[in-house]
């Protein structure tokens, strides 16, 4: 027996992503270990929220930004209005390109290069997801590498238990349209699902020359699974998943000056007419699941993905940088007029081609056993992961001629950026849940060993012969302990809490000096919470505190910097706050036997994020100059509130949802708020005013096969400034509608 147990424990040490399996109900045909929270959000020793398929069907939102706001603790900065490249932060982590949270699809890392170049310029098409999971607090210690804020797991279409199909078609404002179809089945030993999804739009921005400002994104996905008979002595399955995503988007980094925004917030300058994003993403994974005994389960996945993205765009007019022109248009009247197509002149145009590769093998395994009244669950694992970003940036020249950009010179490949960023990581964890009566204690520990390598070939060696090659390496290891507790006060309420050490990798090593090498970011994170669920009322209240050491900033154009990509430390910081989530059916007690419901929900987050040291910052997303102790950390919104009210019966459901984003600092400081206006210069603005966006969604079910649905976004046509990044002021999507039909067969 001892040998069997030792062998089982050795097998268990194979993964970083523990999938929550309940062994007494497992059937191989239903094993698709992708969830990290699922319906267990009420019992985990940490803050976990789950957005189900049923809720997504009510909201009819292809934009993940609009959906994630129903979860407290999630901070989002909008950018292009459709949510194709969301900027997501959790519990005060920076939002820029979602680079400081762990992003997963079906339990597998999805950022193009999670360690080497984490900015998520590729993000999965949300329209093909069937649920979303968000994990914060001590429970997310298993889901690194970014364990300070939390993890987001997107669950794609799963293989159905019986033959089933689904089709959806919709059309709306700005010629926004979607076509989606999937079909799947589970047979005796072979199961499958195949899906095709397309979402496209002409765009709501209005180019000076009238050209298209939209996008066209297409996905093809397939999952096939072989499995043993359900009555087999040892049940197991092998699943292969294949995905291809392509996008052609007429998208730009460039926003507007304040005066131009007030005149027409949806305008796009003539100087952005050639701005375009081309993207191609391929993914393949092979998953093996085995249940050797009733108490042991092992899940192993090998995965590979490659992503190509080239975001080509104008970055100077008349020899002046875009930030200089936006900062003082009156000082640079000729460059501004070239940018707007009013006069002829030179346009600097940069193609930023990047090829990402990401691959690895991970496994999860669990061992359950009981000792009298104590229930034990042991999870251990290891993941080996490598990723790489191959970056070329090429500057060419165009001439603005009578409002049209004409290419006049093609620059040598890589004349602006020519580098390779690489990372290798080995991550392991051990998690041990001990349950006695109403108390669950969950200690755990995570270990990360990371090797980061930077190769910069310079801007004149486009063949990469190595004549000007500069290299740097950084090897680091970190041990991350944590413990969580969950106590079931009674059947209706519970309390939970935890403390864990959080971690973020430091980015590429410095090529200039080891003294300026950024250190990895760490924090000591605390949370305490309360849950209540009874008589139609579901409440979760959480308080959190994150004490940072060596908090990291970055220098990216998308975050308002110069674009060097360098990371830098700012010493200690403190981020603390409160999260409140509530759902209630107003008719629960009055109409217990009735099918009529009147659900309401509230998601509120208060966050106070401040630097704890005085230092001189060298640029990037926190700007230049002295930052003082107790200055607010930029882009972390103190007050976020999402509320909804709905009405539903067997045939109809309708939901009105309001999302309030409070006043947000865009530069460090403590007082003297400077909002955008006619007098304040762009570079002197330090805050964006709060705004409220309201949407409504409705579904009418004709029968079990067909459902008519509609959404109206921004029903008040609010024209607020939602961001001042990457370059200039940006609008929310204006009043828009969408009408569609869903079919189940």
Answer yes or no: is pLDDT of 221 > 60.
yes
The model's pLDDT over 159-205, given as tens digits with 9 standing for 90+, comes to 999 999 999 999 999 999 999 999 999 999 999 999 999 999 999 99
142 closest CA partner among 299, 332, 344 = 299
Q: Provide the pLDDT for residue 327.
A: 92
Give the global pTM. Answer: 0.93
**Alpha-helical segments (H) within 445-592:** none
CA dihedral 117, 118, 122, 128 (to 10 degrees): 150
Residue 401: pLDDT band with limits 50, 70, 90: very high
The model's pLDDT over 565-587, given as tens digits with 9 standing for 90+, comes to 677 888 899 999 999 999 999 99
Answer yes or no: is pLDDT of 18 > 70.
no
Rounded CA separation 200/61 (Å) = 14
Furthest CA-CA distance within the chain = 84
The model's pLDDT over 103-155, given as tens digits with 9 standing for 90+, comes to 999 999 999 999 999 998 999 999 999 999 999 987 778 899 999 999 999 99
Residue with tokens 């409070």: 662
Q: Provide the pLDDT for residue 33.
A: 45
The answer to whether 133 touches 36, Cβ cutoff 8 Å, is yes
Average of per-residue pLDDT values in the chain = 91
The model's pLDDT over 538-552, given as tens digits with 9 standing for 90+, comes to 999 999 999 999 998
Q: Which residue has the higher pLDDT, 394 or 38?
A: 394
Of the CA atoms within 13 Å of residue 544, those in its CB half-sphere come to 32
Q: 38-42, 223-227, 367-371, 425-429 — which is least confidently predicted?
A: 38-42
- For residue 621, the 8-state DSSP code is G
Strands 102-105, 552-554: pairing is unpaired
Q: Provide the pLDDT for residue 426.
A: 98
19 closest CA partner among 377, 366, 382 = 366
Burial group, residue 74, by CB count within 10 angstroms (0-12, 13-18, 19+) = buried
Residue 214: pLDDT band with limits 50, 70, 90: very high
27 closest CA partner among 225, 322, 211 = 225
- Can you tell me the mean pLDDT for 414-443? 96
The answer to whether 382 touches 356, Cβ cutoff 8 Å, is no
Rounded CA separation 111/222 (Å) = 20
Q: Provide the pLDDT for residue 22.
A: 33
CA distances from 244 to 97, 241, 286, 299 (A): 21, 10, 15, 24
Q: 262-276, 283-297, 470-484, 606-620 — which is least confidently predicted?
A: 606-620
Answer yes or no: is pLDDT of 8 > 90.
no
Residue 47: pLDDT band with limits 50, 70, 90: confident
- Can you tell me the mean pLDDT for 326-347? 97
Answer yes or no: is pLDDT of 416 > 80.
yes
- Can you tell me the mean pLDDT for 241-268? 97
The model's pLDDT over 349-365, given as tens digits with 9 standing for 90+, comes to 999 999 999 999 999 99
Q: Which residue has the higher pLDDT, 725 or 157?
A: 157
Integer-rounded Cα radius of gyration of the chain: 26
Answer yes or no: is pLDDT of 641 > 70.
yes
Domains and CATH numbers, the chain: 2-744 (2.40.170.20)
Q: Provide the pLDDT for residue 35.
A: 59
The answer to whether 88 touches 102, Cβ cutoff 8 Å, is no
Residue 592: pLDDT band with limits 50, 70, 90: low
């Amino acid at each position: 027996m001892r040998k069997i147990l030792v062998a089982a424990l050795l097998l268990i040490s194979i993964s970083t992503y523990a999938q929550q399996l309940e062994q007494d109900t497992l059937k191989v045909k239903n094993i698709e270990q992708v969830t990290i929270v699922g319906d267990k959000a009420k019992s985990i020793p940490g803050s976990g929220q789950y957005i189900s398929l049923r809720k997504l069907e009510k909201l009819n939102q292809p934009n993940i930004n609009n959906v994630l706001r129903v979860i407290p603790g999630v901070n989002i900065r909008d950018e292009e209005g459709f949510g194709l490249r969301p900027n997501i932060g959790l519990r005060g982590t920076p939002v820029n390109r979602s680079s400081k949270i762990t992003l997963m699809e079906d339990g597998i890392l999805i950022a193009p290069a999670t360690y080497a170049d984490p900015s998520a310029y590729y993000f999965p098409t949300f329209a093909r997801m069937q649920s979303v999971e968000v994990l914060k607090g001590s429970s997310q210690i298993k889901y690194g590498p970014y364990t300070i804020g939390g993890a987001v797991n997107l669950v794609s279409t799963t293989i159905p238990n019986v033959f089933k199909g689904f089709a959806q078609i919709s059309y709306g404002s700005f010629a926004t349209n979607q076509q989606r179809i999937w079909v799947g089945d589970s047979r005796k030993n072979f199961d499958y699902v195949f899906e095709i999804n397309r979402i496209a739009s002409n765009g709501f921005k209005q180019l000076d020359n009238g050209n298209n400002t939209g996008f066209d994104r297409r996905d093809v996905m397939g999952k096939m699974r072989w499995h043993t008979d359900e009555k087999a002595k040892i049940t197991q399955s092998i699943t292969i998943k294949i995905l291809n995503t392509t996008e052609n988007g007429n998208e730009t980094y460039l926003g507007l000056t304040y005066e131009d925004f007030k005149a027409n917030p949806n305008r796009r300058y003539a100087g952005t007419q050639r701005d375009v994003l081309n993207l191609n993403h391929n993914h393949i994974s092979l998953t093996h699941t085995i249940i050797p005994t009733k108490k042991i389960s092992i899940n192993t996945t090998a995965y590979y993905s490659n992503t190509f993205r080239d975001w080509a765009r104008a970055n100077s007019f008349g020899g002046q940088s875009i930030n200089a022109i936006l900062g003082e248009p009156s000082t640079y009247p000729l460059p501004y007029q070239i940018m707007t197509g009013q006069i002829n002149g030179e346009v600097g145009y940069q193609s930023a081609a990047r090829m990402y590769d990401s691959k690895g093998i991970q496994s999860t395994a669990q061992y359950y056993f009981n000792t009298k009244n104590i229930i034990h669950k042991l999870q251990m694992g290891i993941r080996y992961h490598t990723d790489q970003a191959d970056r070329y940036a090429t500057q060419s020249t165009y001439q603005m001629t009578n409002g049209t950009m004409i290419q006049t010179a093609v620059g040598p490949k890589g004349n602006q950026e020519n580098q390779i960023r690489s990372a290798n990581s080995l991550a392991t964890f051990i998690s041990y849940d001990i349950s006695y009566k109403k108390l669950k204690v969950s200690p755990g520990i995570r270990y990360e060993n990371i090797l980061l390598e930077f190769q910069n070939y310079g801007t004149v060696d486009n063949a990469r012969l190595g004549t000007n090659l500069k290299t740097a390496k950084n090897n680091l290891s970190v041990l991350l302990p944590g413990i969580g507790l969950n106590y079931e006060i009674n059947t209706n309420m519970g309390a939970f809490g935890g403390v864990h050490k959080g971690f973020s990798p430091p980015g590429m090593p410095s090529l200039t000096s080891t003294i300026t090498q950024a250190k990895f970011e760490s924090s000591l994170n605390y949370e305490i919470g309360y849950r209540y669920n009874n008589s139609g009322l579901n409440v979760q209240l959480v308080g959190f505190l994150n004490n940072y050491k060596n908090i990291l900033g970055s220098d990216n154009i998308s975050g308002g910097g110069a674009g060097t990509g360098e990371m830098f430390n700012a010493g200690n910081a403190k981020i603390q706050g409160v999260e409140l989530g509530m759902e209630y059916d107003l008719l629960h007690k009055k109409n217990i036997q009735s099918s009529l419901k009147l659900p309401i929900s509230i998601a509120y987050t208060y966050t106070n994020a401040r630097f704890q040291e005085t230092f001189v910052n060298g640029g990037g997303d926190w700007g230049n100059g002295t930052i003082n102790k107790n200055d607010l950390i930029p882009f972390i919104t103190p007050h976020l509130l999402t509320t909804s009210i709905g009405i539903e019966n067997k045939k109809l459901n309708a939901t009105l949802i309001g999302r309030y984003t409070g006043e947000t600092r865009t530069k460090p400081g403590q007082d003297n708020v400077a909002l955008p206006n006619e007098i304040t210069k762009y570079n002197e603005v330090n805050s964006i005013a709060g705004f409220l966006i309201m949407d409504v969604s409705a579904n009418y079910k004709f029968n079990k096969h067909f459902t008519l649905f509609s959404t109206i976004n921004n029903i008040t046509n609010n024209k607020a400034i939602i961001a001042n990044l990457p370059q200039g002021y940006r609008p929310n999507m204006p009043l828009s509608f969408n009408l569609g039909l869903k079919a189940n067969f």
